[in-house]
Amino acid sequence: VGLKLVALEAETASLLTRRSIQQDPALVKSSIESLVSAPSVILCVERDNAVKKLLDLLGPEDPQQARDLDQFLLRAHWGTDLVHNGFYGSSSFANAVQDVKACFPEGVCCEESPMMKAEKIGTNVKDQLVNPEVPPRRKLVKSSALSHWDYRAPDRNRQQGLLLPMALRQTMCLLLAPPLITKCHHPPYIEVLDQLGGCGFQVVGARMG
């Protein structure tokens, strides 16, 4: 529901310091330097139980531990060490709310859910870059026939336009760190987006700027 290609400032990068290195000033400094060294892609994705599902997909913060667990975890595949582990993912629901507000203060592009309303996360329906009403040929499609979006259903294509707020639906951010953008011959975030979609996540907003 949100995407940006941004050059992070040190203050913002410090908020994304991984829990596993927060007690080591040298690693924190290296992490901030890495995050501000080149552009990063920030994604805001949503699905039921989004925080746990995304953390399960990312794997442990230490890429070596991730590889020992499952070579197909995102950090196992793209990470090299604790500082350059490829991804930052919100570690809890409270952190997810904080991250969404910090990274997408203008709001995200989706229908407002009860959670978003309670946490005062804006829905950016007027933003010219992600507004589904611009150009006019785009439109939001609502379905009264289904109560939820099931990515395992055989008629998945017919559910793509379903935009119904769910009590368990969560919205959170995923940041792809600079090495994933600058050290590859092709944009790896395309594969990441495909894998997220296969796991039931829906990107309801995106931006590169």
Spell out the residues 6+ positions from residue 15 whose beta carbon is closer than 8 angstroms to its own.
Answer: 98, 99, 102
pTM for this predicted structure: 0.62
DSSP secondary structure string, 158-203? GGTT-----TTEEEEEEEE-THHHHS-SS-THHHHHHHHHHTT-EE
Residue type, 158: R
Q: Is the pLDDT reported for residue 146 higher than 50?
A: no
Asked if residues 173 and 104 have their Cβ atoms less than 8 Å apart, the reply is yes
In angstroms, rounded to a whole number, what is the distance separating the alpha carbons of residues 115 and 96?
12
In angstroms, rounded to a whole number, what is the distance separating the alpha carbons of residues 106 and 188?
26
pLDDT higher for 119 or 164? Answer: 119
Query: What is the average pLDDT value for the chain, to the nearest integer?
Result: 77
At 55 the pLDDT is 95
At 186 the pLDDT is 60
In angstroms, rounded to a whole number, what is the distance separating the alpha carbons of residues 84 and 64?
12
Give the pLDDT mean for 146-166: 47
